[in-house]
Amino acid sequence: MRRRQLKWLWARLKQLSLMEVTPQERLMKLGAARSKAPSAWRLVKTQVDKKTGALSFALDRHKLRAVRRREGRYLLRTNLTESALLWQYYVQLVAVEEAFKTLKGDLAIRPIFHQDEERIEAHIFVAFLAYCLQITLTRRLHGLAPGLTARSALAKFAGVQMIDVHLPTTDGREIVLTRYTEPERDLRLLIGRMNLALPAQPPPKIAAAALPR
């Protein structure tokens, strides 16, 4: 499996090095290749020139030798006779474990400090809806921006902040401007790839003058 991944990754890196794309697009394609061949990615050194965007890569022979020395065997004990069905069930088990990890980690469904059964069920239902949204985001990123996880995408969106700018007037009132910060370049690229658009900045508001105490 590792040799197959490494062979595919090496051919893919050759393709990426010949593509005429921007550095940001090349990085996104590298992220997709990394997510598809994670085991082989650890055995390759890559570097993208910040000015020209040129890609250079080389095989880390020291790591490759170390991995070969530590190679073992993957053993699954079962009463099933069909190997393909066994592997399918095992992959499903990994997916279920990842779902519980997401619920308890990213979505923080636990601990639950409720005593009424209805409130506990409502808490779990809201967490399940959040998990469905996260999976939907993951699937969409897989098709539009491969290599990005839902966690990393949400972390990028968290960089956009809403602020209120208060401008006093000569008659004692205030003009309140609610504005969101300008997203970074990589976030703008992600928004474009996801076919999203930020809403227009809210109109200004005029607050009445504060009454004297």
Cα 5 vs. chain centroid, distance in angstroms?
22
Residue 106: which pLDDT band, with cuts at 50, 70 and 90? confident
User: 1: pLDDT confidence band, cut at 50, 70 and 90?
Assistant: low
Res. 74 pLDDT band, cuts 50 70 90: low
Q: Calculate ∠ Cα 197-200-204, nearest 5°.
A: 160
The residues with which 46 forms a beta bridge, in sequence order, are: 57
Where do the domains of the chain lie? Answer: 2-69, 83-156, 159-207
How far apart CA 114 and CA 141 sit, in angstroms, is 35
Mean pLDDT, the chain, whole residue set: 81
Measured CA to CA, the distance from residue 73 to residue 48 in angstroms comes to 35
Is the per-residue pLDDT at 197 higher than 80? Answer: yes
At 23, the pLDDT band (50, 70, 90 cuts) reads: confident
Q: Are the C-beta atoms of 175 and 167 separated by less than 8 Å? A: yes
CA distance 184 to 7: 35
d(CA 19, CA 54): 9
Distance of alpha carbon 197 from alpha carbon 188, whole angstroms: 9
* Cα 143 to Cα 21: distance, rounded to the nearest angstrom: 19
Q: How sure is the predictor about 209, in pLDDT bands with cuts at 50, 70 and 90?
A: low
Residues 5-21 have pLDDT tens digits of: 888 888 888 888 888 77
Q: Rounded to two decimals, what is the model's pTM?
A: 0.47
